[in-house]
Structure 1
Amino acid sequence: MSFLKKLEEISKKATEVASEIGVESQKRYAEYQQKTEEQRKVAEAEAARKKADTDAFLAQHIPSIVKFKVAANYHGGYPGMPDIIDGGELYVGEWDLVWVKHQTVIHLPYCDTHDLELENFKVSMVRSIIAGGHDNDVHRLKNTVVVVCRINDVKQRVKFEIWGGLSVHAGALNAQKVIDHMAEFRHLFVAESQPTPATPQVAAGGISVTAELERLAELHAKGVLDAEEFKAFKAKLLEKL
C-alpha cells in the first residue's frame, strides 16, 4: 500500500471518529439541556407551590382591612418566641395587630390590648451617622412600639422595632404612625381594671355596646369575620359591661 493511500485511510478514519465524537457530544448536550429544563420546571413548580402556600397563609392571618403596614423586627415579649427575630412586617388591622415573617405569626387582638407605648431604642454608631446626628441624639428617638397586652391571662409587653431603612429618624416616624393609626381603635382595648358601667348598654369608656354588636354583626355578614372570630369578639365586648 502506497504512502498516500495509507494517509487517505487514516484521514478517513479520523473523520469518522470525529463525526462519532460530534454526534455523541451533541447527544450528551441535548440530554444536559433536557435535564436542566426539567430541573428548572421542578424549581419553578416548587417556587410556585411555596408562593401559593405563603399567599394562603397570609390571606388567613393578615387582617382583611389593613390600616397601616410597616417593616418591623420582633424584639421579645411574646411567650414561646425567641428574644429577637429580624425582618417581618407589622400590620395594623381593624381588630388586631399582626406581625408576620414567612409563616411565623404574632397575633395581638385589640380586645386583649391594654395600652401602647413608644420606647427608646439603642442604635449603632453607623446608623447614628447615617441618621445625621451623634449617638446620644439618636438614642433619644423612639422607634420601638411596645404593646401591653394580655396573653393567656398574663400581662405581657410585646416589642416591635419599627424599621425605617437606614434612617433611624424614618423608623421613629413610622413607629409614631403605628400609634396614630391605632388611635381610632383604642375603644376596643381592655382596661387594666374594668369598672362597673353606669348602664348595662354602655361599656367602660362610653362606647355603645349595641352599636358595637351591630358593627360586629355587619362584619360577620360581609365575611370579614368568621363565626369563631365573631363569637370571640362579641364575648370580649360583653366582658366590658
Structure 2
Amino acid sequence: MIHKKYENEEHAVADIPNDSTVLVGGFGGSGLPSRLITALKENGATGLTIVSNNIGAVSEGVATLISNQQVKKIICSFPVGPHANELIEYLETGRVELELVPQGTLAERIRAGGAGISAFYTPTAAHTELGEGKESRVFNNREHLLEYAITGDYALIKAHRADRWGNLVYRKAQRNFNPVMATAAQTTIAEVDEIVEVGDMSAEEIISPSVYVHRLVEIASQEERGKVQNG
C-alpha cells in the first residue's frame, strides 16, 4: 500500500487540466475544501464543470472559480448566496451553464456514479419545470423521472483526519457530500486537518476507505488541530 501525501494544496491540484469535471464537497461552509478551491483558482484551469451542493455561502466557495471565469457549467442544488447576482449575469450572457438538481437527487446521482449505476428513476421533480423533457415512467401509479449518474475527473473533498494510506474520518457536518464524492471521481484529493500513522484510527470510525482517496493535503497546524478537537 502506497502512503499518500502532498506537501501543499498547489501541488495536489497542479495537474487538473482545462475542461475537467470537478466534484466539490461541502454544504455551505461545512466540509468545504476551501484551501483546495483556492489552489484550483491559482491553477487557472478553465472550462470546468463543477458539481457542488451550492455555489458558495462563504467567500472561499465555488463562486470564486466562477468569478475567475474558470467555470463553463455548474451542477448544483442552491445557486444562491452573495454571488448569486454575478451568476445570473453570467447565465444571461451565456458564459456559464446551470443545471439545477434537487438536493436529494444530486446526492443520489453522485452515489450512483460511485456505485457503477448508470441511471435510476425517482419521483422527485416530476410534474415540475425541472422534470420537463426528461424520460419518465409510472411506478405504483406515480410518475418517476429518469436521472443519470454523475462522475468526475477529480473530487475535492474535506475530512477531519486521514492516515497515511488515505483512510478518512469526518467530523460532524463534514460528512455531507464528501463521502459520496470520494467514490465518484477518477482522482480524489482530500484536504484534512491531520494525517496520522496507519493504525492510529479505529476501523469502525473510517468512513471513506483509502481505495477511494488518491492524494492528501494536511492543512492544520498543531495549534489549529487543538482548536478543531476542542471546538
With normalisation by structure 1, the TM-score equals: 0.24
Q: Which has the higher strand share?
A: 2
Q: Which has the higher helix share?
A: 1
With normalisation by structure 2, the TM-score equals: 0.24
* Higher-RCO chain (CA-CA 8 Å, sequence separation at least 6): 2
